[in-house]
Structure 1
Amino acid sequence: MSEHTIKATGRNVEGKGASRRLRRAAQLPAIVYGGSAAPQAIQIEHETIWLASHHEWFYSSILNLDVDGKVEQVLLRDMQRHPYKQLIMHLDFQRVDASQTLRTKVQLRFLDQEKSVAGKTSGVVVMHELTEVEVSCLPKDLPEAIDVDLSALEIGQVVHLSDLKLPAGVEIPALKLGKEHDVAVVVAKHGKEEAEEIAAPETAEVPATKAAKKDDK
């Protein structure tokens, strides 16, 4: 697991006015909470976070948060973005205990789809039903992403959660809840089939509606 360090500074002044002043100074308000310590308000250079936000590791890796020289391991738990400007408004970090199992969502990274039979066949649609999955593991085992090898994907094939190859020490809690939770991750089907499935409910409702109107008379 790669290590990534985010440098921050503690802040004593909170509130909307203080946050606006920080943003005008190209600083980002944030908070770190959890563990045995009290929640702490911090500030980080916006550019640092903006650049980090373009990488998968920022969302699912254990981060080393350096606040005024004191380093804590944390996970990003929430990120608020501006509705239309390229600005991040606020961050929430949660402290991580190296000895305790954690649950968090990890991105799925789809590989070699274009090399597969399904990927090469005209008219076949490969749908990514999930783009992330919740995992359970110790902090040291948390992967930045889970690779999904689609190089052997066939037409009509469905890749389920149980088909994913997980790194050592990593589990998917949903799979312990029963077969109905073993949902599809990837589905490869002809585009015509997908269109028919979408249209089917609409065509099925027409006779029922007419019958209901006839009974009302």
Structure 2
Amino acid sequence: MQFTGKSVIITGAGKGIGRATAQLMASRGADVVAISRTKTDLDSLGERCRGIVADLSDPAEARHAMAEAGTADLLVNCAGTNVLESLTDMTDAGYDTVMNINLRTALICAQAFARTRIAAGGGGAIVNVTSIAGHRGFDQHVVYAASKAGLEGATRVMARELGPHGIRVVALAPTVTLTELAAAAWSDPAKKDPMMARHPMGKFAEAEDVARSIGLLLSDDAALITGAVLPLDGGFLAV
């Protein structure tokens, strides 16, 4: 799947899944607009990636970044964060941090993207990166789960509203993805082994696995996939 002549905006492009997606899309010919809060991460992405430094937790900065990004063919909402808190320990600060980035930012970016696509005559695609945490209960993930389930619900509404303009919207729900931070968090066998046993494929995802699936969903090969929530979970949700 090649994307020569296409442009893609990727949020959270400095690290993890977002970074892997930016590198993949650039390698397949796309012109990438990479949004992250860390300039050094953006500078190291390469020449096909135009970096925009922004703190997407601030709605004004998110809107400014999307305005600077301009009109693109594709959008990947990949910016995300988590604060590990149980329901009984949940704080206002933790709630605001997670919901602002994982849900509000994604909606702001999708809104700006959709407006420019409609003004340009329609067409295009959005991939919202969610999580299996929106489908199964994990300790200390109450707000994270709510944010990802909320984004999946919003994905269905976006698909309905934007479909008449030729814009597809899909959610991709990965399992544990071994980014740098996650690899450390899941290194303890007492935590890792019971979770791994629930994966029929016997492995977690790598950031590159998620990036390739995003590329598939953005491509013309997925021309009739919209409004769907697709697990990337090695069979976790099936058993």
TM-score of the two chains, using structure 2 as the length reference: 0.22
Larger Rg belongs to:
1
Greater share of helix: 2
Tell me: higher relative CO, structure 1 or 2? Use CA pairs within 8 A at least 6 residues apart: 2
TM-score of the two chains, using structure 1 as the length reference: 0.24
